[in-house]
Every structure is written in structure tokens, then in C-alpha cells.
Structure 1
Amino acid sequence: MRRLFRPAAAIVAALTLMGAAFAYPGPGRVTGDVVVHDPTMIRTSSNYVLYSTHGYLEARTSTDRIHFTRSGSAFRTPPSWWRTYSSGNDPWAPDISQQGGRYLMYYAVSSFGSNNSAIGLATSPTGQPGSWSDQGIVHSTTTSSDHNAIDPNLLVDASGRWWLSFGSYWTGIRMIRLEPSTGKRHSSDRTLYHLATRPDAPYAVEAPDIVRHGDYYYLFASYDRCCAGLDSTYKIKVGRSTSPTGPYVDRSGRSMLSGGGTMVLETHDQVVGPGGQSVMSDVDGDLLVYHYYDRNDNGTPKLGVNLIGWDSAGWPYVY
């Protein structure tokens, strides 16, 4: 397999520890159909499959993680419940994983700027486009809710417990516990956990992705304005906790419930507004998979993939 370009990790880590400013790397090389929003990717036994927002969850496949081909969508037809939350039957922000010999995909259905939203679950024996069976709604919100049921992410913790984080604006990032047998809301733990928010309106934090590394759980989230082309101000920050339910704090110790967050990636060079991220582990390390708006292509949304390094203090950086 071809690898993404990686500069000397020791140099990057040293600069990070010294607090020196250095340029963010460009996205790793990808080709083909790479116009995406909110990408999530997994490696199956035969290929890489990437799903993204819109088009019944657009699918792209690759054999080398470099060249991607548009390959239909996760769904061939929309489930009937979608229209309650999106008049255009437009699903968003999928999250794919393999659990217990089957593939799971959590995804959101909503309309832009509304919290009349729902998170659905689909399952597949192969993870391939067109093979998904919808399992219905996992969590939903209405316009009277204080949070928003979009941008789901599944975490299986060190004890085997299942958690679903999600959220956008309103009160920020929330989490519920799931039953592993069904992938749906836990029967006894009905707590709505609170992981991150902003102290300033419009409370612009969303798209959580939580991964375990070493002794910590790391919450990656997208901050500020998405989906505005070259006017986008999206950026990716991270905090960590010893518990999946928090509290999550940044490198300085500031809570993500008080606006904390250590920068991972922001606008630089041709890359404008990176965000909508997911984290994937592969044979050559952890990957940050995200979208950005290409300054050199009139703000077209593009796929970004970078390797993640971990410095001596256990904080992630991209290279």
C-alpha cells in the first residue's frame, strides 16, 4: 500500500512541545471523485469504502486509499421516516464501523439550521454500497429540544460499553449509552450526557468523533462555520478524558464545556475550513479523514486525509 507523505515525526513533535509555530501539512494525495462533505471511511476485506453526506449517503470506493471512484450510495431507496425530518430525503454525516462481524452505520436526517432531527442506524454484512438495511431511529429531537440529533459517532469503550455522541450548536455535544445487542438506546441508562459546548452564541461546535488512545478518550470536534465555501471558518479541535462521558479538557486543562479545545487543523494555504472529520485506524497508523474547501478550485469541497501523530504528552497532531 502506498503511504501518505510523512515528515520526520520527531521534528514535528519537538516543535509542538516547544510551542513553535509551524505550517500545517497539505492533505495527503487523493485522486478521482473526491468532492465530499462529512466523510467516514473503513477498510473492508476487499477495498476501502467511504460514505458522505447527501445522495442517500454517497459512496466511494478505493483499493489503495488514494484513487476513489463514485460507487452509488448506501441506500437504494429512502426509508419512509426520513421525510419527517427532511423534505428532500437528504441524510447527513454518516459514521461507519465494524462490530461483531457486521457493519454499522449511524447517520443523521435533518434540514439545515433546524433541530427537528433524527439519528438512524443501518446494518450491512459487507459494508458495500447498496447493501444496507435501515434499522430505524436511535435518537431524535424537535424544535423544542435543547440539543440537536445530528453528526453521530459510535464509541465502544475499554469495558465494551457502547456510546453514541452527537450534536451541533444549541447546547453542543451530547452522548447517550447504547445496547450492544441492538445498537439502540440503552434500556436502563437514559442519561443525556453533556461533553462540549461554547460559552458564546451561536455555540458553534459539532461533528464529534471520539477515539481511545493509551489511557485517554479523545474528543475531536468541528468548531465555527461550515458549508460556506471560501467563507467557511470550520476548524478541528480536540480534548481528552479518562472517561468516555468526560469531563474533556484541552492541553491547557480548560474544559470543553467552557469553550476549551486544542487545535488540530485549521485554514491554511489552499485548505479552507477543514472539518466534518472522522478518525480511522489503518495498517500505517491513525488517519484524520475530513472535508475542506479548496481555495485553488473556487471553494469546491474536497476530501482530506492526513496521518495522525501523537506527541510525548499524548496529544494528536496531523502530518
Structure 2
Amino acid sequence: MRIFRLGYLLPALLAGASAQAPAQTSPSAPASLNARLAGDIAQVHDPAIIRQGDSWYLFTTSQAGAGKGLIHIRTSTDLAKWTRAAPVFAEMPVWVKDAVPGAAGIWAPDVHFAGGEYRIYYSVSTFGKNRSAIGLVTTPSLDNPVWTDKGPVLRSSQKDDFNAIDPNVFDDAQGRQWLAFGSFWSGLKLVRLDPKTGLRSAEDTKVHAIARRPSPGAIEAPFVIRRGDFYYLFASFDFCCRRAASTYYTMVGRSKDPTGPYLDLKGKSMMDGGGLLVLHAELDRSKRFVGPGHVAILREAKQDYIVYHAYDTQRSGVPTLRIQPLGWTDDGWPVAL
């Protein structure tokens, strides 16, 4: 693959962030997938994605009364045209009422295939509070789903220094399964799961800190992948959910251990606010979409993709699905193409 430098982008804007990796192009990379996105791609927030057979399934945040059901699903056979499918839940799971009073939606789902089933981890909370929980619902198939709710996996309360939302599950090289999560408070955390059940490990209950930012800097929405000898932690910085005024952007660090430390290109730890820039409004060629964040990484045989939402300034800031091929520099850093 040929590598070329974009120069040192956004020197003033990114004074508090690390430099962007040199960009990379590939002749085989799909041309402008974002330009071809069509169908039900608006009001998409916090996307999670997985493939089953010849179809991709997208799971997104949902609010009660904003469309049918909770945890909205969209499907595609080409990654470009998306169609709404039946939601995961017809109504809020019964356990949520007592666990998180006042919760009116299900946020930021993640999808993971393990144990012969598709596991959807989901968040319940209320804005600005950390009385929150991460739940689990499963199905043996996505094309004809039969959903079984397993209840809460992890909770947080006012006594905790973290917020149990924004789950992401990944497996390490030793076969251990991990749940990354977190939003604001003291940053992003990591706990072990039991791969057999998908629930929290009973033998290892330690909560690891993997990323944070000095106040008032905001960080949330971890997504971890393993590639080669490294684990890569993608995270969203600053503020979502303000439509065209959203300031979200996406950073990444890497580590040879799933528990960290995750370092950027300059060696600065994400525990000290470090990170390498991956997505930012100033990098949008159309200059139309702002606040790109809450990413998921789709790993395909010939191409990786970064899947995220951004706010469409030409449509009153509506959160919209975005998908870009993800390239890698020769020294192993991700670049949104």
C-alpha cells in the first residue's frame, strides 16, 4: 500500500491532542462508501455492526416513543443501502424499572458472536447521572431472531467513580473475554467476562482503568480490536448529542496488553489524555458532517471499516450513519480513508 502525508493537519484545533497518523490509500479500497449510503440512515446514533451470512446487521440507540420498539435494527446486503427491521425489544425490560428509575431508552448497544449465539450488550441510564447498567440479550440467529434477555451484566451507582454505559466486548489472544465501557466520570474501564455465559466473570472482578481525560475533557464509547501484536482502543472525545453543535471526535491508542497502557504515536498514555486522531469534522471532505464518533470497527476478510454516527449540518444536525474503509500505515496505525 502507498503511504502519503496529509501534512500536520489542524495544528491550532488539535493543540491538546496528538498528531494524526500519515494517511494511506489502497487501490482496492471501495470508493466513497459514504456517498453511496442510502435508505434508513438518519436518526442513527451509536451504531454497532456485525455480519451474518450475506447480510450486515446494525444496532443503534433508541428512545421510547422515537420509532417502534427499543434497540433499533437495520440490515443491508451491500453496506450501502439500509432497511429497518423489527427491534430487539417491544418495550423496556422489566428489570430496568428498579435498576435505573427514569430510564426512557436503551443506548449504545454492542454486538458480539460467542458460544453459538449473538450477544447484544446494551446501556440503560439517564442523562448526566451514573446510576446506570449494562444488560445482555441473546439470540441464536439474526435473520430469524428469538431474543432472550439475560438481565444486567454490570451496574454503577453514585458511589462509583465510573458510569456503566457504552459497552464493547472483545476477546484477547489467550481466549479471555473483556467488557470495555465508560462515559465521563473517571473515564473508560475494563472488566472480565465469562465467555460461556457472556456475564461478568466471577473469578476476576477487578475493574481496570484504560483511558481518561483531565476535567473538563469528556471521553466515552470505547471500542477495542486486536490486530497483530496490538490491541487498539478507539474512544470518542468531547461532546455528542448537540446536533450541529456537537464536538465529538475519535482518537485511538494501542497496547500489547488488553489492560493497557494504551499509548499514542508519541508514546503518550490514554490515561493522560493521549490519543491519535482518527475522525474529526475538519477531516470530512464534504464539510457537511460534524461530531463523528461512537465508532465500531467492522473486520472483513479484505477490508476493515470504521462505522460511526455524525451530525448532518444540512439536515438540522440529524445523527446519520457513516461508514469509511479503514486503512493501516506500515507501522500499524489506523487511518479512515
1:48 CA drift (Å): 1.2
Say which SS state the counterpart of residue 253 (structure 1) adopts: coil
Residues of 1 paired with 2:33 and 2:82: CA distance?
18
Output the CA distance in 2 between the equivalents of 1:100 and 1:224: 36
2:203 paired with 1:188? yes
Aligned to 2:94: 80
2:206 is aligned with what amino acid? T
Shift of 1:131: 2.8
Q: Pairwise mapping of residues 52-71 of structure 1 onto structure 2 (< 5 A)?
A: 52-54=60-62, 55-71=69-85
After TM superposition, give the deviation of residue 81 of structure 1 in Å.
1.3
Identity among equivalent pairs (%): 43
Pairing partner for 1:143 from 136, 158, 176? 158
Aligned position for 2:336 = 318
> How far does the alpha carbon of each residue in 1:293-314 deviate from its partner, in whole angstroms, 9 at most, with x for none?
0112221110000111010110
Aligned match of 1:208 in 198, 222, 232? 222
**1:247-258 equivalent positions in 2, closer than 5 A:** 247-258=261-272
Separation of aligned partners in 2, 1:49 and 1:66: 12
Give the 3 Å change call, closer, same or farther, for CA 26–113 of structure 1 in structure 2.
farther
More deviation, 121-130/155-164: 121-130
The 2-side partners of 1:182 and 1:156 are apart by 14
Give 1:180's aligned amino acid: P
Root-mean-square deviation over aligned CA pairs = 2.0
Question: What TM-score do you get using the length of structure 1 for normalisation?
Answer: 0.91
| CA-to-aligned-CA distance 1:22-80 (integer Å, 9 cap, x gap) | 99988352100001000011111242111100141011111111110111211233210
SS of alignment partner, residue 114 of structure 1 = coil
With normalisation by structure 2, the TM-score equals: 0.86
Amino acid at match of 1:312: D
Higher deviation after alignment, 26-35 or 58-67: 26-35
Structure 2 regions of 5+ residues with no counterpart?
Answer: 11-21, 25-31, 63-68
Contact 1:138 1:184 in 2 (8 A): yes
Tell me the distance in 1 between the aligned counterparts of 2:274 and 2:335: 17
8 Å Cα contact 1:102/1:126 also seen in 2: yes
Question: What is the letter of the counterpart of residue 301 of structure 1?
Answer: P
Other structure's SS at 1:96 match: strand
Number of aligned pairs?
A: 307
- The correspondence of residues 93-172 of structure 1 with structure 2, limited to 5 A, is 93-128=108-143, 131-172=146-187
Are 2:23 and 2:335, in contact at CA under 8 Å, matched by a contact in 1?
no
Q: Is the Cα contact below 8 Å between 1:74 and 1:128 reproduced in 2?
A: no
SS in 2 for 1:254: coil
Residue 271 of structure 2 aligns to a residue in which SS?
helix
Tell me if structure 2 keeps the 8 A contact 1:222–1:235: yes
Change (3 A) 1:128 1:173: farther
Structure 2 vs 1, CA of residues 117 and 146 (structure 1 numbering), >3 Å: closer, same or farther? same
Q: Does 1:299 align with 2:317?
A: yes
C-alpha deviation, 1:86, in angstroms: 5.1
In structure 1, the partner of 2:275 is 261
Do the aligned partners of 2:5 and 2:23 also contact (CA within 8 Å) in 1? no
User: In 2, distance between residues paired with 1:295 and 1:180?
Assistant: 42
Q: Work out the CA distance in 2 between the residues paired with 1:90 and 1:164.
A: 21
Partner secondary structure for residue 80 of structure 1: coil
